[in-house]
Amino acid sequence: MGVISLRLENSELKRIDDLSIQENKGRSAVARELIQQGWQFRMLKQYRDGKLSLEGLAKTLDLSVGETIDLLAELGIESPIEYEDYLKGFEVLTDK
């Protein structure tokens, strides 16, 4: 694991401290989670803006395409799969 040193505003440090207390986690763990969530947010915005494909988003987030579609649905981002495609996939699944 690498180490990075950075300067934070007092307000940013307070947010980390507050989350650390709320979640009963160390500052470093909270900071790593916030960085990961920030990364996911940026990648989701790129997908929404058409800069990433569904497959590209899945690879970037280290998820399967199905997990990525579930995440998009959970966040209220419209599914890239049309209803007809869903029905075709369901037919293929039930034919086996």
For the stretch 15-30, pLDDT in tens is 999 999 999 999 999 9
The pLDDT confidence band at residue 32, using thresholds 50, 70 and 90, is very high
Is the pTM value of this prediction over 0.75?
A: no
Please, are residues 80 and 54 in contact by the beta-carbon 8 Å criterion? yes
For residue 91, give Cα distances in angstroms to 18, 65, 68, 82, 86.
50, 19, 22, 15, 9
Whole-number Å distance between alpha carbons of 51 and 49: 6
Closest by CA to 79, choosing from 46, 47, 37, is: 47
State the Cα–Cα distance between residues 25 and 66, nearest whole angstrom.
Answer: 30
- The string of pLDDT tens digits covering residues 33-80 is 999 999 999 999 998 888 888 889 999 999 998 899 889 989 888 765
